[in-house]
Amino acid sequence: MAQQAILVVDDEAPMRKFVSHNLKAGGYDVLTAADGNEALKLLVEHPLDLLLLDIGMAGPDGLAVLEAVRRDMEVPVLMISARAREADKVKALDLGADDYLVKPFGVAELLARVRALLRRVTPGPRGPLPPYRYRGLVVDFSARRVWLNDVGVSLTRREFEVLAYLARNAGKVLLHRQVLQAVWGSQYGEETDYVWTFVQRIRRKLEPDRQHPRYVLTEPGVGYFVPGQDEEDAA
């Protein structure tokens, strides 16, 4: 089995060395870049399974690189930054990051986050499920595709996983922590802003009126749910 390839982008040489050494020890194939321009070049030249991206760099910073990546690629992105404010995390997630790790961090946490992002199977029961259908929305679990009124909806891998988990549990209110741990992994617990941010991203792509959503609904103070299928759609 081929090693999974990870690109580490950080302008601090000691941090690049620390991260790349431990990823290699964990069995991954690692490339490194010292700035955004070098990172964008490597992203075009090499097939990658994961991108670890610092924010504060000369030239195009990590957020600019993230925006460029999200225009053309679906590679999972883990931001690594000394910026610990919630606003910084939410901004990165809103631009398309899958996770955010604050420096300094330990090897165990780094590897756990990497393993979680490299999981390829959507959380939920094993085996094929019929597509979820509700008022023109179709979520095809097997094909990992979404349609709205017969038009394909482009979701990132993580956006699809959040929507698919809600759709697998249609009609049930799911706690923020339930969604977080089902999609990101059991080691997550306090990062409930991740769920909020991804729900907003999904709503931007699905809802004709985000102030009055019809597909991804909020139970205030509890969590989120999607409606149960209409009888004619479920048939």
> Is pLDDT of 234 > 60?
no
**Contact (Cβ atoms closer than 8 angstroms) between residue 37 and residue 65:** no
pTM score, two decimals?
0.75
Which ranges in the chain belong to alpha helices (H)?
Answer: 13-25, 36-45, 62-72, 86-94, 107-118, 157-168, 176-183, 192-206, 231-234
Distance, in Å, from the CA atom of 235 to the CA atom of 135, rounded to the nearest integer, reads 14
Torsional class of 194: left (φ above 0), alpha (ψ -120 to 50), beta (otherwise): alpha
> Is pLDDT of 166 > 60?
yes
Tally of CB atoms within 10 A around 173: 13
Distance, in Å, from the CA atom of 193 to the CA atom of 170, rounded to the nearest integer, reads 22
Tell me the pLDDT of the chain averaged across its residues: 90
What domains does the chain contain, in order, with CATH numbers? 5-118 (3.40.50.2300), 132-234 (1.10.10.10)
Distance, in Å, from the CA atom of 200 to the CA atom of 185, rounded to the nearest integer, reads 20
Distance, in Å, from the CA atom of 232 to the CA atom of 3, rounded to the nearest integer, reads 46
> Is pLDDT of 133 > 90?
yes
Contacts of residue 149, Cβ cutoff 8 Å, sequence gap at least 6: 136
pLDDT at 231: 47
> Is pLDDT of 182 > 60?
yes
State pLDDT tens for residues 56-103. 888 899 999 999 998 888 889 999 999 988 899 999 999 999 999 999
